[in-house]
Chains A and B, each alone.
Chain A
Amino acid sequence: MTDGPTPASDAPRTPRPPAAPVFGLVLAGGLSSRMQRDKAAIEYQGRSQLERAVELAAKYLPEVFVSVRAGQAADPSRARYPLIVDSVPGEGPIVGIRSALAARPDVAWLVLACDLPFLSDAALSQLLAERDPTASATAFRSAHDGLPEPLCAIWEPKAAAELAAYQAAEGRCPRKFLIRHGAKILEPRDRRALDNINTPDEYHEALRSFDGEASTGMQLKIQYYALMREQAGRSDETLETTASTPADLYSELKARYGFTLSREQLKVAVNSEFAAWSHKLAAGDSVVFIPPVAGG
């Protein structure tokens, strides 16, 4: 974490031309063959992936476009947005990226796949803050395979010619392009943001984790009794946390409320049953810290 890139160290020492403005491009032209249904239309928390991605990008960028294949321009779920229709030959996301760079040679494009349900404010703001406009692209390193992730990345205007040459030489993988062309690579602070969803199984797993959970952590219900209730000043609360065990959660809450009891003096219950301090918490769990009891 602490050895991650620091934007300041890359700051230009000599005057350079101002960086191109960044527009958003949400890719919605995929064939969704493994998913067996249109990925862009898949819903989480009542909104389609496409809507979610466009809305998130629009919070940060002055203009957001949706990338589609020629045959998709009339699709109602896509036609409501400004579109960039594929204008170069070939297949795959490289075509969408090149078409956007061709449509507006004066802007950089923050390109987003539309199958990133966990994409977060943290990820987009880091990408924009640590962008290097002198590189061909700024991209995150995947937490899974360590390779650059081309579909949550900023593509600079200069990449247009390089991508054209790469594709002319039979290349079609934007990830390989990033590896070869020395893109600026960032270590993602929100490691989950780039988890993509390609199969029905992955979709159902994502849905389960969305159950009562937001993209930065999960929601837990905490109930307080006796001394804990008096020190917390409440008998229950629902909170957003990144704590994954009761032990982590107690550290967080002890810091917040100044609980006088140490963890060793307590027991803990999850969903109304005694649990270990290392118990893996899940979204929606109900947690109770149990101070020394005194019945009878």
Chain B
Amino acid sequence: MSFRFAHDPIDTATARAELLDPGAGGFVTFEGWVRDFNEGREVTALEYEAFQALAVKEGARIVAEAVARFPVRHALCIHRVGRLALTDMAVWVGVSATHRGEAFDACRFIIDAVKHRVPIWKKEHYRNGDSGWVNCEACAAGPGAAAPAHGHEPAQAHGHEPNAA
């Protein structure tokens, strides 16, 4: 399984071991962590929710695209669901490759595409007690390859604010 969800803290040692390969000369990982602020607001916790039946399919497609495109030996992405505290790891991406260049590129491609294409939602809980579903911030930023597949019109997607007051 090249993309999966975790309900408990991600076991990075096991994940790394899945990517070991005698032909690989480099290994790159990305970890996404829960940060204490977003768009000027103090964040105290995050809640992740996913439409898992579709998300695992779309996630696997992204990883397969990365492996074919760069190309690399192996790649894996694990995403948390549920309530996370500050400094918790929300997502882990690992790539092993013959050479480091492709590994960096593939890792960057996977995390960007996962954020834009996979049906995962994030609710931020703020210091003042409010909460809100985070919009797809990349809609407005619109970075290259992932944007068309994402399908949201930048201005519109950004125009709707989470229903937190």
On A, residues with C-beta under 8 Å from B are 223, 225-227, 230-231, 260-262, 264-265, 267, 269, 272-274, 288, 290-296
Main secondary structure of the interface of B (DSSP, over half): mixed
Contact indicator B136/A293 (Cβ below 8 Å): yes
B139 near A296: Cβ-Cβ < 8 Å: no
Kindly name the residue among A262, A290, A292 whose own CB sees the greatest number of chain B CB atoms within 10 A.
Answer: A292
The chain B residues found within 8 Å of chain A, CB to CB, are 32, 48-51, 53-54, 57-58, 79, 90-91, 111, 114-123, 133-137, 139, 150-153, 156-157, 160, 162-163
- Chain A residue at smallest Cβ distance from B56: A272
Contacts of A265 in B (CB 8 A): 152-153, 156-157, 160
Nearest neighbor of B159 in chain A, beta-carbon distance: A265
Contact A296 B121, beta carbon cutoff 8 Å: no
Q: Which residues of B contact A225 (CB under 8 A)?
A: 49-51, 119, 121
Q: How far is the CB of A275 from chain B (nearest CB, A)?
A: 10
Going nearest first, the 9 A-B pairs with the smallest beta carbon separation are A295-B120, A226-B121, A292-B136, A296-B115, A272-B53, A294-B134, A294-B122, A227-B133, A292-B157
CB–CB B51/A223 < 8 A: yes
Bound complex: CA of A290 vs CA of B135, how far in Å? 12
Q: Is the CB of B51 within 8 A of A296?
A: no
Q: Nearest CB to that of B136 among chain A residues? A: A292
18 further contact pairs, Cβ within 8 A, besides A294-B120, A295-B48, A295-B118: A226-B121, A226-B123, A227-B121, A230-B163, A264-B156, A265-B160, A272-B54, A272-B57, A288-B51, A291-B121, A292-B139, A293-B119, A294-B134, A294-B137, A295-B114, A295-B122, A296-B79, A296-B120
Say whether, besides A226-B49, A265-B160, A296 and B123 are in contact (CB < 8 Å).
no
Tell which of A226, A261, A265, A293 has the most Cβ of chain B within 10 Å.
Answer: A293
A262 to chain B, nearest CB (A): 7
Please pick, from B32, B115, B122, B151, the residue contacting A267 in the complex, using a CB distance under 8 A. Answer: B151
- Do the beta carbons of B160 and A296 come within 8 Å of each other? no
Once the chains are docked, how many angstroms separate the CA of A226 from the CA of B153?
A: 20
Q: What are 12 A-B contacts defined by CB distance under 8 Å?
A: A223-B51, A225-B49, A226-B121, A227-B133, A261-B160, A264-B156, A265-B153, A265-B160, A272-B54, A294-B135, A294-B137, A296-B115
B32 surroundings in chain A (CB, below 8 A): 296
Bound-state Cα–Cα, A225 to B116, Å = 17
Most buried by A among B32, B150, B151: B151
Decide if B114 touches A296 in the complex (CB within 8 Å): yes
Minimum CB–CB distance for B35 against chain A, Å: 11
How far is A296 from B53 in the complex, measured between Cα atoms in Å?
A: 18
The answer to whether B160 and A293 have CB atoms under 8 Å apart is no
Bound Cα distance A230, B54 (Å): 20
Given A227-B121, A227-B133, A265-B152: A295 touches B163 (CB 8 Å cut-off): no
**Inter-chain contacts of A288 with B (CB < 8 A):** 51, 54, 119
Max chain A Cβ within 10 angstroms of own Cβ: one of B51, B111, B114, B151 = B51
- In the assembled complex, the Cα of A261 lies from the Cα of B53 at a distance in Å of 23
Chain A residues lying within 8 Å of B54, measured Cβ to Cβ, are 269, 272-274, 288
Whether B51 contacts A290 by the Cβ 8 Å rule is yes
A97 to B152, CA, bound (A): 61
CB–CB B133/A294 < 8 A:
yes
A294 and B51 contacting across the interface, CB-CB below 8 Å: no
A290 to B133, CA, bound (A): 13
Chain B residues with CB below 8 A from A223, complex form? 51
A180–B119 Cα distance when bound, in Å, is 62
**A230→B151 CA distance, assembly (Å):** 23
A230–B111 alpha-carbon span in the complex (Å): 27
Assembled-state Cα–Cα distance A204/B61 (Å): 37
Chain B residue with the shortest CB-CB distance to A273: B54
Q: In the complex, A265 Cα to B153 Cα: how many Å?
A: 7
Query: In the complex, what distance in Å separates the CA atom of A260 from the CA atom of B159?
Result: 11
Q: How far is the CB of B130 from chain A (nearest CB, A)?
A: 14
Give which listed residue, B111, B133, B137, contacts A291 with CB less than 8 A.
B133
Q: Which residue of B lies closest to A266 (CB)?
A: B152
Q: How far is the CB of B117 from chain A (nearest CB, A)?
A: 7
Instruction: Quote the shortest CB–CB distance from A295 to chain B (angstroms).
Output: 3
Contacting pair A293 B163 (CB below 8 A):
no
Q: Which residues of B contact A293 (CB under 8 A)?
A: 115-121, 136, 150
